[in-house]
A and B are shown apart, each in its own frame.
Chain A
Amino acid sequence: MADSGGPETAQLSSNDSKGEVGDVIPEEARSLLRKMEISVAEVEKRTGKNAVNMLETYTVYLIETRRVDSSAENQNFSPDSLWRRYSEFELLRNYLLVTYPFVIVPPLPEKRAEFVWHKLSADNMDPDFVERRRIGLENFLLRVASHPILSNDKIFYDFLTEENGWKEAVMETGFQPKADSRLKALNATFRVKNPDKRFTELKHYSDELQSVTSQLLRVRARVADRLYGVYKVHGNYGRVFSEWSAIEREMGDGLQSAGHHMDAYAASIDDILEEEENYADQLKEYLFYAEALKAVCRKHELLQYELETAAQDLMSKKQQREELVSGTVRTFSLKGMTSKLFGQETPEQREAKMRVLEEQIQEGEELVQEKKTECDEYVRNAWSDMERFKVQKDRDLREAMISYAVMQISLCKKGIQVWTNAKECFSKM
């Protein structure tokens, strides 16, 4: 289904990977990353006329790629670069979704800031948000580039390297109408008679994952908001201690210095919570991954349904043939009714009908075979990607929680230091 092209991915066996995001890339990946370094290096704002000829400001991201030859001693290739907008990233992703429906396609960072706590502005122009989005887009590219199947895609390769004409090339693949029908299928309701238990369980899991990660993100944001309040209110101590120290002879110095520590304490929360946003982003990635996982399960359901429909049609045709042969009418048909009412048909008519049925049955058999093969192949490919995804998810989330613990440890150590210092100042009063 895919255009596989681009550089041959040689089967290198060395273990180092050349990504910009350390632990994201599995060590055994034989991927595009062996050949090139990819990064989203810079962000800029541009102003230009849009489709309706109005002036708009938008953000562009600089994608830098550099050839890496792991066997050569000097790796001084100069990087190539081009600018892309967020909408182009979206286009790429939609293309991949349609072209590789059995792949759990990596998600993009969110378009608008959600799960915000009060201080963090929901403004897309906020520099912290823009920076985190840059990291998110880079992460997306690295995930795709390290995927055993997606990394071979030509359109993806061109996205990284061909500034001009890329959009047209994507459109030429004819993916757009497929994208529309895909969306329709995802939202359609149909019942599958013999669902694959594994996929049903997986879909169930993807629902749970979605639900629990969004709940977690919401609660985390609220807790962050409250913690911000606690730290900031302590800043008032700084002010009042300082004012009070003016009338106290013995306690003045102690109060003043304690006040400074309170100010430092209040100020420290900003960096702490900004860092925690990275943890939230890691959770968000898997919230969005859950969506992609669900889509893969739904696609399988659709294929299964089509297979079952084809098999059912075939069976009904076979039954009709049997009736024609035996002369009994078990299945309802307009022809059968009319012949009952208006008399039996001629042997020639029956011959003709028989021939048509045989043809249809033949086509039906082929269709069922086709659908079965499609289904089996899909199951094989999807299952393989599921396993890959599961390993990645377990590793990534475990790492995320470890780094969260590291953040908490740092927060605690800072707290111990501030209050130990404050205690000393109070003791000297």
Chain B
Amino acid sequence: MSSDLTAAGFPTPALTEEMLELDEDDDLEVFSKDVTLTDGSSVSASLPTSPSSMTNQYRFEEESDTRDIFVTVDNPESHVTALETFITYRVVTKTTRSDFDSCEFEVRRRYQDFLWLRDRVEETHPTLIVHPLPEKFVMKGMVERFNDDFIETRRKALHKFLCRIAEHSILSCNADFKIFLTAQAWELTSHKKQGPGLLSRMGDTVRAVAASVRGVKNRPEEFVAMQEYVDTFSQRMSSLDKVTQRIAKEIKEYLDDLKHYGPTYVLWSGSEEELVEPLKGVASCIDTCCQATEEQLSQMSNNLVPLLHEYVLCSDAIKAVLRRRDNIQTDYEAKCDILVSKQADREALKGEVEKLEDRVECANSALKGDWERWQSNMRGDVKAAFVSTAEKNVDYYEKCLAAWESFLTSMNADQSVEKSAGLTS
């Protein structure tokens, strides 16, 4: 995708001729002034509604240069109440957006709050791809909830979750997101209670199940391809996740045995005279290798393993997106059927059908636009993680090589000293 650049090298959001000539031109007509595009009415009044700025939402390549909101998640702290113990994280927001009251915000949020945000964002934008949250519990390995490594891994994942939303031109404008970033604890609690009630949510679920039972009639080709891709991608990611965890396990076991190896040479040196140097030298090299292995393992556990796991979760998220898209289409198709069969109330029904048709178009465009963005992010993430792993492995071998070469040099140095001593004696 090309981007429009001004002379200064920055893309501008202003209306230009080229922008109006997009393929999505036809779709521009679809955007009515009706702000309620979805069932949830959480779109804030400050959301731009003109078609041109709508168009701008899909020019994702401009994001990195026009970012005006930055979010970080850090500083996990333990909170103990009478009823429970939980961790809160500090969420810091820096922004120049005019619809924010200030340029800096600092709040504390717990995992539950992130879950709430995720659910709200998914409801509001059912066919946008939201980066997944870390899982509630890690059953495998029985990791304690308050283990340091677990907390750090979770913190990084929560950070990435918020960053991805902040980078997304539509999602970052979401009202619930803004409240999440800025509201005091009590404000957030009261806002949470205002959401669609339990009954309405149950109704949604029932409709969704009914829709999926009905099945979609003519799924557009590109979404068929997407489904196939995601199904395969999901399997590949699961395999990679498993393989990588297995490698980490094998390296750990190797390290455990290696830790006994060096000391055995030291033990031996206790009985020897001439051989003390080489024995201790070998022991020292092995110890260096142990340290290098620890670092290698740490890199793998902290970077590659979580990344692959994230994308397993991503696949599930995308499958859910595709299901929701299908449901939106099914709703429309169902209403069409009713329209065909019923003679009375045709006018009223026609209105409803049009609305649902709009919904389908919106949902499809949103997903189509987001798909490329997701793919690009995925490639970037995967490439970075594997490159970093490969780099770490090279570094590991280089450290070990240096140790052994230095040992060899010291051995040869001893020998040449002996030789010259022999010649002169």
Q: Tell me whether A405 and B407 are in contact in the complex, defined as CB-CB below 8 angstroms, given that A212-B267, A398-B275 are known contacts.
A: yes
Does B398 sit within 8 A of A, measured CB to CB? yes
Please measure, in the bound complex, the distance between the C-alpha atom of A419 and the C-alpha atom of B257, giving whole angstroms: 24
- Distance in angstroms from B323 CB to nearest chain A CB is 20
Assess the B253–A229 pair: CB atoms within 8 A.
yes
Q: What distance in Å separates the Cβ of B383 from its nearest Cβ neighbour in chain A?
A: 5
A100 within 8 A of B: no
A227 within 8 Å of B by Cβ? yes
- Which residue of B281, B379, B394 is within 8 Å of A423 (Cβ)? B394
Nearest-neighbor residue (CB-CB) of B376 within chain A: A250
When chains A and B are docked, how far (Å) is the Cα of A406 from the Cα of B411? 12
Q: Is A125 an interface residue (CB 8 A)?
A: no
Determine whether the beta carbon of B264 is less than 8 Å from that of A212: yes
Query: For the complex, what is the distance from the CA of A402 to the CA of B229, rounded to whole Å?
Result: 53
A397: Cβ under 8 A from any B Cβ: yes
Give the docked Cα–Cα distance between A423 and B397 (Å): 14
Q: Are A215 and B264 in contact (CB under 8 A)?
A: yes
CA distance A234 to B253 in the complex (A): 15
Does A427 contact B275, Cβ atoms closer than 8 Å? no
Q: A240-B239, A429-B383 are in contact. Are A405 and B285 (CB under 8 A)?
A: yes
Chain A hits for B401, CB < 8 A: 409, 412-413, 416
Minimum distance in angstroms from A381 CB to a CB of chain B: 23
Across the interface, B232 reaches (CB within 8 A) one of A208, A219, A247, A401, namely A247
B400 pairs with A408, CB closer than 8 A: yes
Q: Let me know if A423 and B261 touch, CB within 8 A.
A: no
Does B150 touch A at the CB level, under 8 Å? no
Number of A-B contacts (CB under 8 A): 136
Is A113 an interface position by the 8 A CB rule?
no
Beta-carbon contacts under 8 Å, B267-319 to A: 267-268, 270-271, 274-275, 278-279, 281-282, 285
A423 touches B285 (CB 8 A): no
**B398 and A416: CB pair below 8 A?**
yes
Q: How far is the CA of A59 from the CA of B391 in the complex (A)?
A: 49
Flag whether A352 is at the interface (Cβ < 8 A).
Answer: no
Contact B247 A409 (CB under 8 A): no
A226-B411 CB under 8 A given contacts A422-B390, A427-B383? no
Asked if A426 and B386 sit within 8 Å, CB to CB, the answer is: yes
Number of interface residues of B (CB under 8 A): 49
Cα separation A220 to B254 with both chains bound (whole Å):
11
Please state if A404 and B257 are interface contacts (CB–CB under 8 Å): no
**CA–CA, A187 and B96, complex, Å:** 90
Are the CB atoms of B397 and A419 closer together than 8 Å? yes
**By the criterion CB–CB under 8 Å, are A230 and B387 in contact?**
no
Q: A215: which B residues are within 8 A, CB to CB?
A: 264, 267
In-complex Cβ contact of A429 among B246, B267, B268, B382 (8 A): B382
The answer to whether residues A402 and B408 also contact, given A419-B390, A423-B391, A429-B383 and a CB cut-off of 8 A, is yes
Bound complex: CA A222 to CA B408 (Å) = 25
* Interface residue B258 (Cβ < 8 Å from any Cβ of A): yes
Interface status of B61 (Cβ within 8 A of chain A): no
Are B393 and A415 in contact, with the CB atoms below 8 A? yes
- B404 on the interface (CB 8 Å rule)? yes
Contacts of A398 in B (CB 8 A): 274-275, 278, 411
Q: Indicate whether B67 reaches chain A with its CB closer than 8 angstroms.
A: no
Residues on A with C-beta less than 8 A from B250 are 226, 229-230, 233
Contacts of A258 in B (CB 8 A): 386
Distance (whole angstroms) from the CB of A95 to the closest CB of chain B:
31
The distance in angstroms between the C-alpha atoms of A134 and B110, with both chains bound, is 69
Contact A416 to B394, CB < 8 A, known contacts A219-B264, A230-B251, A237-B243: yes
Does A420 touch B at the CB level, under 8 Å?
yes
Closest 7 CB pairs of A and B: A423-B390, A226-B254, A412-B401, A415-B397, A244-B236, A394-B274, A419-B393
**Supplied contacts A236-B246, A416-B397, A420-B390, 4 more A-B pairs, CB within 8 Å:** A240-B243, A398-B274, A426-B386, A426-B390
| Chain B interface residues (CB < 8 Å from chain A) | 229, 232-233, 236, 239-240, 243, 246-247, 250-251, 253-254, 257-258, 260-261, 264-265, 267-268, 270-271, 274-275, 278-279, 281-282, 285, 379, 382-383, 386-387, 390-391, 393-394, 396-398, 400-401, 404-405, 407-408, 411
6 A-B Cβ contacts within 8 A?
Answer: A209-B271, A215-B264, A227-B254, A406-B408, A416-B401, A423-B394
